[in-house]
Every structure is written in structure tokens, then in C-alpha cells.
Amino acid sequence: MITNLSPRDLRFLADLERVQQRISDASRQVSSGKRVNVASDDPDIVTELLQLRAAKQRNSQITSNLGVAQADASVAESALSSATQLMDRARTLAAQGATGTMDANGRLSLAGEVESILEQMVSLSQSQSAGRYVFSGDHETDPSYRLDLDNTNYGVDANGNQNGDGTGTGAGVDRLINPIQATRVVEDPAGGSFPVSETAQQIFDNRNPDDTLAPDNVFASLYNLRTALLNNDVNGINAALTPIEKASDHLNTALGFYGTVLNRIQSASTSAANYDLQITTQISQREDADVAAASLEMSQGTAQLQAAFEMQSKIPHSSLFDFLTS
């Protein structure tokens, strides 16, 4: 390309463009607070920034999941704490009913209290957190059990009484979901995962492998104690004592499970918070501008431009024609 500009003028314009670009870059950093605003600002760092942002987003989701799990586990722990207290009361009632000084009317009164405990136990199995039934496992939108003292055989109402025969668990309680499973786990920032819940069946309606009632079945132990008290059956009351004690121990084990879960969630949440701070720091180190340095760059660049224009204005601009006619 032919130009009538001298090499000196071309150099001046090139230098001028470089200074203006420096000022523009510095100005953009000062206004945005970011050293990297677009990929062209630092192509080598863009891939790393994208990876860090993806890690931050994943960690944020993990933190959110841990928060939900913590809320559910807290509700479950509170419910089981109440359940263990109820079973302690049932043990006291069983011991009272087994004494030789208790008459039929007294045992009838105790039976009413045991029935109230069974009703409360079923209500605890329906505990909710933000609309989720915390003991319903994978069926968190539905309760697992309901009280139905007329149902005394070993049938099961599955999936909202699909069988249509109104049968129950053998403990005066209908099981509404069959099977009751809990496959939910939460992830920790290190990449591992752990279970955060047990089902109402595991806790309140424990079963043998053949689906018969286990000796520590909470519902069954309370139902059988109530029945023995209603019948003024001293032998039956004495027989109910051991299952009541085993059911109480079983509830304490479930309570311990949720205590462990809450500890793991707290530890994972702390790790997630620390990791988020670490990622945020790394992103800032790569992306954020040194505003003070950028401001100084703007000031120096502006001063250089002003000096360059002043010097350029003082340089003689004589042509060959001027020389020949002088």
C-alpha cells in the first residue's frame, strides 16, 4: 500500500495505537473489576476459568443437597427422640400391668394409654420436612403407614391399598407402600457419598427375611401389649415385656443412625464451604483486576499520549517544495 506518511509518522501512529490500547484495557479493568472479560483478554487462562466455574457450580449443588438432607435428618432425629421416650413410657406401663396388684379396670386404663402411644408412633412414622415424608424412602410424597386397629392379620395394603381388602401389618397398622425402599444418598465435596435416611419399615415395622414380624418390631410390640392389657392377660403382658425392650433398643439404634448422619452432613458442609472459598480465591486470582495498577496504567498512558502530541506538534514538517522555494 502506498502512503504519503513518513516512516517517522508511521512509527508515531503505531506507538500511539499501542498506548491507546493499553489505556482502553486498563479502563475496562477498572470499570469491570475483571482482568479477563472476554476470551481474547487472556486465551491461556480461559479453559482453566471454565473448569473452576464448573467445579464451583457442582460444589454449590452439593451444598444445596446437603442442606436439604440436613433438614430432613433433623426432623427424623427429633421424631425418633420422641419415639424413644414413648417406648420408655410403654415399658413402664407394661411393668405396671404385669404386677399382681393391678386389676382388670386398671389394665384397661393402661391399654388406652398404650393405644395412644401406638397412635403417636404411627404419627411419628408420618413425619414431614418441607412436604416430604422423611421415613417414606423413595416414596417421599406419601405416608408409609396409618393406624387401623381393626386389621390384625399379616396382610399388607400395598401402594394405597391395591389389594382392596383392607388388610394390615399384623400390628393394627396398615402399610400403605410396598416395598418401602430408601436409595437416596448425598454426595460430599470429596466425591464420596453416603445414605441419609432409613424407612419407616426399617424403624417401626422391622421384618424377618420371610416378612414375618421381627422381635423388635415397634408397632407389633405396642399392639400386642395393648391386646394383652385389654384381655387382662398377665401372661401375655409378661410376654410383651421383652419385645417392648427390644423395640426400644431398636429405636435407639435408629436414633444413633441419624445422629451419625447429621455429623457427616455437618462435616461435609464444612468441607464444601472451605472448598467454595478455595475455588473463589483461585477464580479471583486468575480473573480479577489489580484496580490500583490498572488506574496507574491509565494515568501513565494518558500522560504519555499528551506528551507525544506535544512533541509531535513541535517537530518541523518541511517538505522538499518548502526547501526549494526558500
Q: Report the C-alpha gap between 49 and 51 in whole angstroms.
A: 5
Over 70: is that where the pLDDT of 300 sits? Answer: no
Whole-number pLDDT of residue 24? 57
% of the chain at pLDDT higher than 70: 67
Report helix, strand and coil shares of the chain as percent, to nearest 5.
65, 5, 30
Whole-number pLDDT of residue 220? 93
Residue range 178-200: average pLDDT? 88
Whole-number pLDDT of residue 223? 93
- Judge contact between 76 and 195, C-beta under 8 A: no
Give how far Cα 197 sits from Cα of 92, 133, 184, 210, Å: 30, 11, 7, 23
Over 50: is that where the pLDDT of 3 sits? Answer: yes
Residue 169 has a CB neighbour count (10 Å cut-off) of 27
DSSP string, 242-302: HHHHHHHHHHHHHHHHHHHHHHHHHHHHHHHHHHHHHHHHHHHHHHB--HHHHHHHHHHHH
* Amino acid, res. 21: Q
What pTM, to 2 d.p., does this model score? 0.74
Domains and CATH numbers, the chain: 58-281 (1.20.1330.10)
Whole-number pLDDT of residue 55? 92
User: Which letter does DSSP use for residue 299 in this model?
Assistant: H
Which residue in 153, 40, 119, 171 sits closest to 163, CA to CA? 153
% of the chain at pLDDT higher than 90: 53
195 strand-pairing partners = 185
* Strand boundaries in the chain, DSSP class E: 128-129, 132-133, 145-147, 173-175, 185-187, 193-195
Over 70: is that where the pLDDT of 292 sits? Answer: no
Over 50: is that where the pLDDT of 164 sits? Answer: no
Residue range 107-131: average pLDDT? 96
- Judge contact between 176 and 144, C-beta under 8 A: yes
Q: Report the C-alpha gap between 87 and 254 in whole angstroms.
A: 13
What mean pLDDT value characterizes the chain? Answer: 80
Residue where the block lists cell 401372661: 235
Confidence of residue 167 (pLDDT cuts 50, 70, 90): very low
Whole-number pLDDT of residue 50? 84
The pLDDT tens digits for 51-102 are: 888 999 999 999 999 999 999 999 999 999 999 999 999 999 999 999 989 9
Over 70: is that where the pLDDT of 249 sits? Answer: yes
3-class SS of residue 213: strand
- 67 phi-psi bin (left φ>0, alpha ψ -120 to 50, beta other): alpha
All three cell numbers of 72, joined, read 430432613
Q: Report the C-alpha gap between 136 and 183 in whole angstroms.
A: 11
| Of the listed ranges 87-96, 165-174, 266-275, 291-300, the one predicted with least confidence | 291-300
Residue where the block lists cell 451444598: 63
Q: How far is CA 228 from the centre of its chain?
A: 45
Residue range 128-145: average pLDDT? 93
Q: Report the C-alpha gap between 52 and 290 in whole angstroms.
A: 20
Whole-number pLDDT of residue 170? 67
Whole-number pLDDT of residue 155? 31
